[in-house]
Chains A and B, each alone.
Chain A
């Protein structure tokens, strides 16, 4: 037998959890996109030379571009 009282207190607990969670999220310090995006761009640029899929590497140095077969272990 479920009394109306039990239903209500369950909802209250859930609602309190949601409010607590939202308070945590609202309290976060955020930074403008113009600044954070600049950092994303800078990271890409700093690492572009060491990104083989980006630069493409010569067939002789890419281990997958030779004609060896794969072994099922």
Chain B
């Protein structure tokens, strides 16, 4: 039975409610101020600044390789820095193990290990060996532990740390050797679906995108969210830094890709067409940042002129959704993975 409110409790409750109201007003004021500050800098559009830049000619890009090793949908892939190997993961059916969709995978910078995880809520590191007799599954090391599925993972600049994002709404930084949680990143209001580390020259930040339609930029050391962008109209499936580190692109279920300028702190381009109505699963830049490749749920790849905002090419080949897309480290090709069970290399 609930005891009656004493006069002291009633006063405290009133005070708390006043504080709450005060804080709400302050947050509204700050939000308005943020919008005004961002609007002040919107003195020109990116494509206007790019008017004098030469247009791009016809692009002839074709599938150069089709890789058919998976028995099911390909969900994720990553290139090794030696550019000759890729790791990919898929939704394999397993009889003896519980459902283990592997949704994320990444190559270690040394090329000696891969990290992967998914519906097991973990990120595990597997050493690599060319010796087919070695039982690599036995050498697996569990590094990260979330309370929901692992959506993405990436080694930082060394084999020693891994950054993860999860359906539990957080990102986290882990020490591979000890499995210790080094930093956690809270701020998304729903599943985090993707992340990308800033190019090493630009410091210790990374960007994440989620089901809350937000893209957040984080300081890896402090755990602080330093910038937040909310212009997409649906889940953000993929984020990728522009090669200079001063901007990043995103791909969303709202069928658009967008470019966000970090120093102007706002969206500066939208890559969309009325005819494109299916979501973007994955985006990546060519080496100079001039081209943005997007893999779509309508089985196609659209290639965009980042500066002018126009589409330069549409590529066909996959027979189901393109789920993952990455440009090779040397920029000579890009790889796509699809629900049609194959990987394709394009150049």
Residue ranges of A at the interface with B (Cβ–Cβ < 8 Å): 1, 3-5, 8-9, 11-12, 15-16, 18-19, 21-26, 28, 30-34, 36-41, 43-48, 50-54, 56-57, 62-65, 70, 72-73
Beta-carbon contacts of B1-43 to A below 8 Å, as 1s and 0s? 0100000010011001101100110110011011001100111
Contacts A1-B2, A40-B244 given; indicate if A65 touches B64 (C-beta within 8 A): yes
Hey, which chain B residues are within 8 Å of A23, CB to CB? 30
Q: Is the CB of A26 within 8 A of B49?
A: no
Bound: A51/B288 CA distance, A: 6
**Docked-complex contact A19 and B17, CB < 8 angstroms:** no
Per-residue CB contact flags for chain B residues 221-264 toward chain A (1 = under 8 Å, else 0) read: 00011111000000000000011101100000000000001011
Determine, out of B89-97, B176-184, B331-339, the stretch whose residues face the partner at the interface. B331-339
Interface of A is mostly: helix
Measuring CB to CB, which residues of chain B are less than 8 angstroms from any residue of chain A?
Answer: 2, 9, 12-13, 16-17, 19-20, 23-24, 26-27, 30-31, 33-34, 37-38, 41-46, 49-50, 53, 56, 59-61, 64-65, 67, 69, 83, 85, 128, 130, 187, 224-228, 242-244, 246-247, 261, 263-266, 268, 286-291, 306-307, 327, 330-334, 345, 347
Complexed CA–CA distance, A43 and B263 (Å): 15
A63 to B38 Cα, complex, angstroms:
45
